[in-house]
Amino acid sequence: MQFKNFKTEAFLRDYWQKRPLLIRNPWQQWQNPLSPDELAGLACEDHVESRLITQMSDDWNAEHGPLPATRFGELGKSPWTLLVQAVDHHVPDVAALVDPFRFIPNWRIDDVMVSYASDAGGVGPHFDHYDVFLIQGLGRRRWQIGGMCDDHTPLRSHEDLLLLADFEATQEWVLDPGDMLYIPPGIAHNGVAVGKDCMTYSIGFRSPSRKELIGNWCDDLLPTLTDDDRYRDPDLSVQSNPGEIPKTAIDRLHAMLTETLNDRAAFARWFGEHNSTPRYPDTDWRPEEPIETEHLRGLLTADHPLLRNPASRFSFVREEEDELLLFVDGESFPCAAETAAVAKMLCAQDQFVINPEWQKSDAVVTLLAGLYNRGSLSFDWR
């Protein structure tokens, strides 16, 4: 699917992380890519993350999947919503929804969550810490937009849902199939189904916090540090007051920390690996039989297109003019010359044919075979 009348440059300039935007059916031709029954089927699978939100009056209850198939026949007339995460990992037509949003860097993209709601169903007024595009797939939904929120905004006491204690709508729209609503981080919003068979596709974007970056990088650094690397003061002299921690000591202690944390190259490698870690790293996407490099070369020579696994994350960081670090599913791969060119293509395209010159390169074929055997590339995704 592609946009027909959506100007990306104007959107980034005027709306991205600034204010909400309603876009009425911007698609060349909108087709709902998933049926309600197919979504319910995914919610019954062990390897799929899902939640069922039921509502009684002004109270919400959350059940975590996998859900028994019989559960949907027990719901009755009270409003309810089914939420299924990372549907793009399992349904190619849902994964294709991400393609028009490639004007935002791939490393920022998280997943496509799909919701189904009965009449008046919703998850309550809330806010997110990340950008989100809400695409109406089927039926109709009323969206109300409120003010800016943060971690100090009062929330209701609820074990599973982050619901706003107070919500006052300042804007309101009803979305029909194909309509899309962009909501920046921190903006309060509330979506309620209008009628039956309401499906919404939420394309969310990753936005690491300073707290997460510092905590996760330090966790990764600690195993590389030794107890022998300690504070030293061989030039120690007598102080007038032994209770003072002098400036020279503070400077040395501070330097011990900042010299380690200020290694930009080490941070770039760490962040690339950390950021490319799959959302569900325990899911095994490896092929039943590993492929040998010469077998792979033969398939490439026959112009069989390779496809990226929709659940995999590909990105790269430039090092030198013709050298880069490729990051795939939590690992880094140094690339130079032809492998660097291939790495750029892997990160830019979901499907590709390897040109004849690259097919002759042992380094290229070895890289591709390794990614294939990890489950990051394939010739045919189920």
Which one is the CATH code of 293-378: 3.40.366.30, 3.40.960.10, 3.30.10.20, 3.40.50.970?
Answer: 3.40.366.30
- Which pLDDT does position 196 carry in this prediction? 92
- Which pLDDT does position 381 carry in this prediction? 65
Return the CA Rg of the chain: 25
8-205 in CATH: which number? 2.60.120.650
**10-residue mean pLDDT series, the chain (382 residues):** 88 97 94 97 96 89 94 92 97 95 95 97 95 98 97 90 94 97 98 97 96 96 95 95 96 95 94 96 93 94 91 94 93 96 94 92 96 94 58
- Crossing angle of helices 210-221 and 264-276, in 10° steps, is 100
- Which pLDDT does position 76 carry in this prediction? 85
Tell me the residue type at 310: P
- Which pLDDT does position 159 carry in this prediction? 81
- Which pLDDT does position 245 carry in this prediction? 97
Q: What is the secondary structure of 88-129 as a DSSP string?
A: GGT-HHHHGGGGGGTTS-GGGEEEEEEEEE-TT----SB--S
**Where do the domains of the chain lie?**
8-205, 211-262, 293-378
As to burial, measured by CB atoms within 10 angstroms (0-12 exposed, 13-18 middle, 19+ buried), residue 380 is exposed
- Which pLDDT does position 289 carry in this prediction? 92
From CA 33, how far away is CA 26, in angstroms rounded? 16
- Which pLDDT does position 382 carry in this prediction? 52
From CA 332, how far away is CA 268, in angstroms rounded? 11
Which residues make Cβ contacts (< 8 Å) with residue 151, sequence separation at least 6? none
